[in-house]
Amino acid sequence: MVKILAWHVLQTQPRLRALIWFDSVFSATSTTYYYYFQTVMTARHFTSPQITTILVIGLAVNVATIQLTPWLQAHITQRRLLISLCVGLTLALLGSFNSATNWLVIAYLVINGLRALLEPLLSNYYNQLIPNGQRASLLSVASMGFSLAMVGSFPGIGWLIQHWDFTTTFGASGLLILLVGLGWWLKQKLHAVTED
């Protein structure tokens, strides 16, 4: 019965479906970048102190972004926050076309921070949208969406990195997200015009 009710909630709440889709794609893309960047550090012969420093800075960025979450939610609408996260991810990925090591480290830290920020934001949004009785089932659906996205993206990105390289692959990913985002924006504009 709980599963039937959870399915009904998904069917009747397009906003919840959109959040789950956004969560899956954003989290899979940022997590894939996070893991494959470690191969960049190995390939470019980062020293142990350099790797440790980057990881510590990444942890500090994560803590800072998580601390910002309540303030951001109080001052910025959900829609604008999610668009800002997407823009930030897109810019960092597009910046990966620049293969300079310093820039790739900055992109890694930005993506890491955005990924940390997304989790508490979406947890709060899910709790607002999902009824108490279906919360466990629907959060499992969101988790499964991420897992499915990772199953597709992780080996696919790995294959592209082998045939192209890290910077071209993730730069192209940013370009793809940009094109999809522009398509979505144009669709919204056209929809608004036709409603007027």
| Predicted TM-score (pTM) above 0.85 | yes
* Residue pLDDT tens, the chain, 196 long: 445 556 666 777 888 888 999 999 999 999 999 999 999 999 999 999 999 999 999 999 999 999 999 999 999 999 899 999 999 999 999 999 999 999 999 999 999 999 999 999 998 888 888 877 777 777 888 888 899 999 989 999 999 999 999 999 999 999 999 999 999 888 888 877 776 5
Nearest-10 Cα torsion for 27, 62, 93, 90: 70
Q: What is the pLDDT of residue 117?
A: 94
Domain membership of residue 112 as a residue range: 2-195
Task: Output the domain CATH number for residue 72.
Answer: 1.20.1250.20
Instruction: Measure the CA–CA gap between 152 and 192, rounded to whole angstroms.
Output: 34
The whole-angstrom distance between residue 110's C-alpha and the CA centroid of its chain comes to 11
Query: Helices (H) and strands (E) in the chain — how many of each?
Result: 7, 0
Domain count across the chain: 1
Q: What is the pLDDT of residue 141?
A: 82
Rg, the chain, Cα only: 18
Per-position b or e across 134-171, b if 16+ CB within 10 A of its CB? beebbbebbeebbeebbeebeeebeebbeeeebbebbb
* First-residue to last-residue Cα distance in the chain: 42
Q: What is the pLDDT of residue 133?
A: 74
